[in-house]
Amino acid sequence: MITITINGKEIKLEKAMTVLEAARSAGIKIPTLCYHEQLEKYGGCRLCLVEVEKMPRLQTSCTLMVTDGMVVRTETEAIADVRRGILEFLLINHPLDCPYCDKAGECELQDLVEKYGPTTSRFREKKRKVTENLQDPVIVRNMERCVMCTRCTRMCEGVQGASAIAVISRGGHSHIEPFSGNRYDCEYCGNCVSVCPVGAIMSRLHRHSYRPWQVKENIETTCPYCGVGCTLVAQVRDDVIKRVVPKIGSPVNNGMLCSRGRFGYEFVGHKERLTVPLIKKAGVFEEATWEEAIGLVAKRLGEARDKHGSGAIAGIASPRCTNEDNYVFQKFMRVTLGTNNIDSTARMGYAGAQAFIENIFGQGATGNIISGLSNSDTVLVIGGDPTTVNPILGLQIRACSRRGGTILTVGHVPGLQHFTPMELKPGRRQETLLLECVVTALVSRKGLPGSNQRLEEKIKVVNADIATVAGQCGLHEKEMTDFIDSLAGAGTPAVVIGKELVQACNSGYRLFLACAISYLINGRIYLLCDHANEQGVLDMGCAPDLLPGYRPLSYAEFRKRYETAWKTTLPEKNGLNIFDMIAAAGSGALKAMYVMGENPVFNLPDSKTTVAALQKLEFLVVQDIFMTETARLADVVLPALSWGEKYGTFTNMERRIQRVRKTVGREGMEDWRIVAEISKHMSVRMHYADSGSVFEEITKVSPLHRDLTYDEIAEGATIYPYKGEPLRGATEEIRTDRGMTCPEGGLFLGIDRPLFHSGTLSRMSPALGKICPDAVLRINPETAATLLVADGDIVRVSTATGSLELPAVLDKHADRSVVLVSNIFEGRGVLGLMAAALDPVLGSPVLDTIPATVERVGKAKV
Partner 1 sequence: MGNILLKNIENPNSAELCEYRKSGGYAGLQKALGMEPKAIIDEVKKAGLRGRGGAGFPVAMKWTFASADPKFPKYLLCNADEGEPGTFKDRPILEKNPHILIEGMTISGYALGAEYGYIYLRGEYPAAKDILNKAIKQAYEDNLLGDNILGKGVKFHLAVHQGAGAYICGEETALIESLEGDKGQPRIKPPFPVNVGAFAKPTVVNNVETLSNLPYIMEIGGEAYAKIGSPDCPGPKIYCISGHVARPGVYELPMGTPLREIIETHCGGIKGGGRLKAVIPGGISTPVLPPDKIDCPMDFVNMPKHGSMLGSGAVIVMDDTVCMVKVCHRALKFFEHESCGKCTPCREGTGWLRSILGRIEQGEGNEGDIDLLLSVAGNMIGKTFCPLGDGAASVVQNFIKHFRPEFEEHVRLKACPVGK
Partner 2 sequence: MITFSQTTIKEIEEIRRKYPTSRAALLPALYVAQREFGWLSPEAYTAVSDLLGVPEAIARGVGTFYAMYRNKPLGRHVVQLCTNVSCMILGAERLVDFLKNKYGLEPGGTTADGRFSLVIMECIGACGTAPAMLVNDDFYENLTEKYIDEILEKYR
Nearest distance from residue 164's CB to partner 2, in Å? 5
Binding flag, residue 376, ligand FES (CB under 6 A): no
> Given the rule CB under 6 A, which of 175-183, 250-258, 313-321, 589-597 is the region that contacts ligand SF4?
250-258
Q: Taking CB within 5 to 8 Å according to partner kind, which of ligand FES, partner 2, partner 1, none is near residue 308? A: none
Asked if 665 and 313 count as a contact pair (C-beta separation under 8 A), the reply is no
One of 11, 32, 405, 625 touching ligand FES (CB under 6 A): 32
**Cα separations (Å) of 664 from 234, 240, 241, 640, 645?**
10, 6, 7, 14, 5
CA distance 628 to 625: 9
Binding flag, residue 26, partner 1 (CB under 8 A): no
One of 91, 109, 113, 226 touching ligand SF4 (CB under 6 A): 226
CA distance 478 to 467: 10
Query: At residue 563, what are phi and psi to the nearest 5 degrees?
Result: -60, -40
Helix (H, G, I), strand (E, B) or coil at 107: coil
Binding flag, residue 420, partner 2 (CB under 8 A): yes
Binding flag, residue 73, partner 1 (CB under 8 A): no
Residue 518: what residue type? S
Binding flag, residue 659, ligand SF4 (CB under 6 A): no
For strand 777-779 and strand 802-810, is the pairing parallel, antiparallel, or unpaired? parallel
Question: Which residue's CB is nearer to partner 2, number 157 or number 598?
Answer: 157
Asked if 394 and 387 count as a contact pair (C-beta separation under 8 A), the reply is yes
Binding flag, residue 156, partner 1 (CB under 8 A): no
Q: Taking CB within 5 to 8 Å according to partner kind, which of ligand SF4, partner 2, ligand FES, none is near residue 35? A: ligand FES
CA distance 197 to 103: 9
CA distance 190 to 264: 12
Binding flag, residue 166, partner 2 (CB under 8 A): yes
CA distance 16 to 26: 14
Residue 41: what residue type? K
Q: Taking CB within 5 to 8 Å according to partner kind, which of ligand FES, partner 1, ligand SF4, none is near residue 184? A: none
Q: Taking CB within 5 to 8 Å according to partner kind, which of ligand FES, partner 1, ligand SF4, none is near residue 48? A: ligand FES
Nearest distance from residue 92's CB to partner 1, in Å? 6
One of 39, 164, 596, 611 touching partner 2 (CB under 8 A): 164
Nearest distance from residue 58's CB to ligand SF4, in Å? 41
Nearest distance from residue 435's CB to ligand SF4, in Å? 27
Nearest distance from residue 550's CB to ligand SF4, in Å? 22
DSSP string, 250-283: -TTTTT---HHHHH-GGGGG-TT---S-EEEETT
Neighbours of 716 (CB within 10 A): 20
Binding flag, residue 165, partner 2 (CB under 8 A): yes
Q: Taking CB within 5 to 8 Å according to partner kind, which of partner 2, ligand SF4, partner 1, none is near residue 257? A: ligand SF4
Binding flag, residue 404, partner 2 (CB under 8 A): no
Asked if 50 and 63 count as a contact pair (C-beta separation under 8 A), the reply is no
Q: Taking CB within 5 to 8 Å according to partner kind, which of ligand SF4, partner 1, ligand FES, none is near residue 226? A: ligand SF4
Q: Taking CB within 5 to 8 Å according to partner kind, which of partner 2, ligand FES, ligand SF4, none is near residue 166? A: partner 2
One of 66, 200, 202, 392 touching ligand SF4 (CB under 6 A): 392
Asked if 249 and 255 count as a contact pair (C-beta separation under 8 A), the reply is yes
Number of residues that bind partner 1 (CB under 8 A): 32
One of 32, 59, 253, 658 touching ligand SF4 (CB under 6 A): 253
Q: Taking CB within 5 to 8 Å according to partner kind, which of ligand FES, partner 1, partner 2, none is near residue 157? A: partner 2
Nearest distance from residue 161's CB to partner 2, in Å? 9
One of 5, 38, 63, 481 touching partner 1 (CB under 8 A): 63
Nearest distance from residue 638's CB to partner 1, in Å? 58
Question: Which residue's CB is nearer to partner 1, number 46 or number 706?
Answer: 46
Site string for partner 1, 108-147 (x = CB under 8 A): --------------xx-x---------------------x
> Given the rule CB under 8 A, which of 89-97, 390-398, 424-432, 638-646 is the region that contacts partner 1?
89-97
Give the contacts of 183 (CB within 8 A, at least 6 positions apart).
Answer: none
One of 43, 44, 105, 178 touching partner 2 (CB under 8 A): 178
DSSP structure class, residue 18: B
Nearest distance from residue 327's CB to ligand FES, in Å? 49
Question: Which residue's CB is nearer to ligand SF4, number 663 or number 849?
Answer: 663
CA distance 669 to 299: 20
Binding flag, residue 13, partner 2 (CB under 8 A): no
Question: Which residue's CB is nearer to partner 2, number 121 or number 182?
Answer: 182
| Residue 73 burial (C-beta neighbours within 10 Å; 0-12, 13-18, 19+) | middle
Nearest distance from residue 45's CB to ligand FES, in Å? 3
Angle at 616 between CA 614 and CA 620, to 5 degrees: 50
Nearest distance from residue 377's CB to partner 1, in Å? 17
By Cβ distance, which residue is nearest to ligand SF4?
A: 261
Interface residues for partner 1 in 620-639 (CB under 8 A)? none
- Alpha-helix residue ranges (DSSP H) falling in 596-707: 600-603, 607-616, 671-681, 691-701
Question: Which residue's CB is nearer to partner 1, number 131 or number 169?
Answer: 169
Binding flag, residue 119, partner 2 (CB under 8 A): no
Q: Of 585, 673, 600, whose CA–CA distance to 632 is shortest? A: 600
Give the contacts of 433 (CB within 8 A, at least 6 positions apart).
Answer: 426, 464, 469, 472, 473
> Given the rule CB under 8 A, which of 30-38, 156-164, 377-385, 599-607 is the region that contacts partner 2?
156-164
- Alpha-helix residue ranges (DSSP H) falling in 196-331: 259-263, 290-308, 323-331
Q: Of 381, 470, 473, whose CA–CA distance to 427 is shortest? A: 473
Asked if 717 and 654 count as a contact pair (C-beta separation under 8 A), the reply is no
One of 5, 133, 143, 184 touching partner 2 (CB under 8 A): 184
One of 198, 258, 488, 621 touching ligand SF4 (CB under 6 A): 258
Asked if 593 and 581 count as a contact pair (C-beta separation under 8 A), the reply is yes
Interface residues for ligand SF4 in 621-650 (CB under 6 A)? none
DSSP structure class, residue 683: T
DSSP structure class, residue 410: E
Nearest distance from residue 781's CB to partner 2, in Å? 9
Binding flag, residue 632, partner 2 (CB under 8 A): no
Note if the bond before 178 is cis, omega within 30 degrees. Answer: yes
Sheet containing 524-527: give its strands across.
Answer: 422-424, 406-410, 378-382, 493-497, 524-527
DSSP string, 173-184: G-EEE-GGGGTS
Question: Which residue's CB is nearer to ligand SF4, number 225 or number 748?
Answer: 225
Q: Of 758, 700, 812, 639, whose CA–CA distance to 289 is shortest? A: 639
Buried b (16+ CB within 10 A) or exposed e, 635-672: bbbbbbbbbbbbbbbbbbbbbbbbbbbbbbebebbbbb
Binding flag, residue 228, ligand SF4 (CB under 6 A): yes
What is the 3-state secondary structure of 726-764? CCCCCCCCCCCCCCCCCCCCCCEEEEECCCCCCCCCHHH
Residue ranges binding partner 1 (CB under 8 A): 41-47, 49, 57-58, 63, 65, 82, 85-86, 88-90, 92-93, 122-123, 125, 147-148, 167, 169-174
Residue ranges binding ligand SF4 (CB under 6 A): 223, 225-226, 228-230, 253, 257-258, 260-261, 390-392
Residue ranges binding partner 2 (CB under 8 A): 153, 157, 162-170, 177-178, 182, 184-185, 417-418, 420
